[in-house]
Amino acid sequence: MENKILYSITGIFSKPDDIIKAVEKIAELGYKKYDVNTPYPIHGMDSAMKLKPSLLGYFALVFGLTGAITALIFMWWSGTLDYPLVIGGKPTFILPAFIPVAFELTVLVATIGTVLTMLFLFFKLPNNAHPLHDTDYMKKVSNDKFGISVEAKDPKFNEQEVVNLLNELAAEEVNPIHYNNDEIRYKPKIFDLKFIIFLVVAAIATSGASYFTFNKLMFMIPFNWMAEQDKSLAQYKSTFFKDGFAMRQPVEGTVARGFMPYQYHEKPEDAEKSLMNPISITNDNLEKGRAKFNTFCSPCHGYFGKGDSRLNGQFPNPPSLHSDKALNWQDGRLYHVITDGQNSMPPYSKQLSIEERWRVVSYIRTLQRAMKAKEEDLK
């Protein structure tokens, strides 16, 4: 059997009174590195061991304030600076309405922070390699006994003295505790085969799960954003209607609201003779006419009606609106072309209302006048 390194000498007591007396004596003698292990916190033990009060409360305070301030700053920053969004006409920073969230985050951050600080910073847990673990001593103090463990690292430590002292204090049992040699020699290996296999399996599992979730699962019912619904779509076959059409025809003889039959269909000369422009030449009307012209006419005829759009050369060239033919036409003829179409030009009666067509006509007249401006127009 190889030599074991001594960790501590332990004494077991079974009455709270005895352990308190023993601890007071050991503290009095000036031992520094010793521990008391009890199945529950015993009143008066802290003062017997001459321990200072715990500082954990201050950590809780700092964490709580951090939570509160972070929450308030974040709510102010997100709503006021980053993306101001006015909801219900309220200001973007509303302190009373932000208090619930700020309070919750105070509690959350304080709780998590305090517990993690205590467990990992103060206690340095998890620590299953401590020499006290898996000893009879630990089994007793976790059940119904109270124990003192005087460490060999204590400057005053002398094995025989401590054993005698504990016996003097009427300890029920006095036992030495040694380090476990296997635990001391154990060195974690990063390139262990098992560890590498674990990493590979973890990588495949997470990437596979992510691939499945984002590329397959999100396209399945019911996760697919309601892409498939029990309704008829236009252009699709309907199983509901006898004729198989999902799109329905209006009832025969239905007239749309505001519909006026156009009586000069394919009769340009009659239109030119009979139709008069009802629109008065005002800035407002011309402005509106220009907007419609730029939307519907300029893609072919160009912004100034010269036929110089980007379709020039790729198509039957769009005609200029400044030709003699167009200049000599009456308003009614221009209106007719917009309404009925001509050659390659489709009718625009669906896109433009009657009033809008007349405004476009007025605007074309303005363009024509502007292109052939007379001396007195400058005045």
Partner 1 sequence: MSVDYTYELPVIEGKPTFANINDSISSPMEKMPDKKYYIALSITLTMLMIGLVSIGYTFYKGIGAWGNNIPVAWAFDITNFVFWVGIGHAGTLISAILFLFRQKWRTGIARFSEGMTIFAVMTAGLFPLIHVGRPWLAGYLFPYPNEHHVWINFASPLVWDVFAVSTYFTVSFIFWYVGLIPDFAALRDRTRNKVKKIIYSITSLGWRFSNYHWKHYEIMYLVLAGFATPLVLSVHTIVSFDFAVSILPGWHTTIFPPYFVAGAVFSGFAMVQNVLIFIRKIFNYEHIITLNTLEKMNKIMLATGSMVGYAYATEFFMAWYSGNGLEQFTFINRAFGPYAWAYWTMVSCNVIFPQLFWFKKFRRAIPIMFAIGIFVNVGMWFERFVIIVTSLSRDFLPSSWGHYTPTMIDFGILIGSFGLFFTLLLLFTKTLPVVSIAEVKSVLEGAHPSHHGGEK
Q: Considering only the stretches 99-107, 195-203, 248-256, 268-276, report the one whose residues sit in contact with partner 1 under the rule CB under 8 A.
A: 99-107
- Given a contact cutoff of 8 angstroms between Cβ atoms, the answer to whether 1 and 168 are in contact is no
Q: Which of 4, 100, 204, 206 binds partner 1 (CB under 8 A)?
A: 100
C-beta closer to partner 1: residue 147 or 319: 147
Q: Considering only the stretches 77-85, 266-274, 330-338, 358-366, report the one whose residues sit in contact with partner 1 under the rule CB under 8 A.
A: 77-85
Backbone angles phi, psi at 318, to 5 degrees: -65, 135
C-beta closer to partner 1: residue 36 or 169: 36
C-beta of 107: minimal distance to partner 1 in Å?
A: 5
Q: Which of 6, 27, 38, 347 binds partner 1 (CB under 8 A)?
A: 38
CB count in 10 Å sphere of residue 92: 15
- Given a contact cutoff of 8 angstroms between Cβ atoms, the answer to whether 339 and 351 are in contact is no
C-beta of 133: minimal distance to partner 1 in Å?
A: 7
C-beta of 163: minimal distance to partner 1 in Å?
A: 21
Q: Considering only the stretches 80-88, 249-257, 279-287, 344-352, report the one whose residues sit in contact with partner 1 under the rule CB under 8 A.
A: 80-88
Q: Which of 111, 238, 277, 366 binds partner 1 (CB under 8 A)?
A: 111
What mask of x and - would describe binding to partner 1 in positions 160 to 199, judged by CB under 8 A?
A: ----------------------------------------
C-beta closer to partner 1: residue 133 or 273: 133
Read out DSSP for 162-198? HHHHHHHTT-SEEEEEE--HHHHH----TT-HHHHHH
Is residue 210 part of the contact set for partner 1 (CB under 8 A)? no
- Given a contact cutoff of 8 angstroms between Cβ atoms, the answer to whether 7 and 150 are in contact is no
The amino acid at 266 = E
Q: Which long-range contacts (CB under 8 A, 24 or more apart) does 101-106 make?
A: 101/71, 101/75, 102/67, 102/68, 102/71, 102/72, 102/75, 103/68, 104/71, 105/67, 105/68, 105/70, 105/71, 106/64, 106/65, 106/67, 106/68, 106/71
Please, which of residues 285-314 interact with partner 1 by CB under 8 A?
none
C-beta of 97: minimal distance to partner 1 in Å?
A: 4
Is residue 60 part of the contact set for partner 1 (CB under 8 A)? yes
Please, which of residues 228-247 interact with partner 1 by CB under 8 A?
none
Q: Which of 51, 200, 247, 276 binds partner 1 (CB under 8 A)?
A: 51
The amino acid at 311 = L
Could you tell me the sign of the dihedral formed by the alpha carbons of 111, 114, 120, 123, in that order? negative
C-beta closer to partner 1: residue 203 or 218: 218
Q: Which of 30, 40, 251, 278 binds partner 1 (CB under 8 A)?
A: 40
**Residues binding partner 1: what is the number (CB under 8 A)?**
70
Strand partners, 174: 11
- Given a contact cutoff of 8 angstroms between Cβ atoms, the answer to whether 49 and 23 are in contact is yes
Q: Report residue 108 CA to chain centroid gap.
A: 20
Token pair of 65, please? 């304030």
Q: Report residue 314 CA to chain centroid gap.
A: 48
Q: Is 150 helix (H, G, I), strand (E, B) or coil?
A: strand
Is residue 27 part of the contact set for partner 1 (CB under 8 A)? no
The amino acid at 299 = P
What mask of x and - would describe binding to partner 1 in positions 112 to 141, judged by CB under 8 A?
A: x-xx--xx--xx-xxxxxx-xx----xx-x
CB count in 10 Å sphere of residue 263: 9
Backbone angles phi, psi at 267, to 5 degrees: -130, 70
- Residues engaged in binding partner 1 (CB under 8 A): 16-17, 20, 35-49, 51, 53-54, 56-57, 60, 64, 74-75, 78-79, 82-83, 85, 87, 90, 94, 97-98, 100-101, 103-105, 107-108, 110-112, 114-115, 118-119, 122-123, 125-130, 132-133, 138-139, 141-144, 221-223
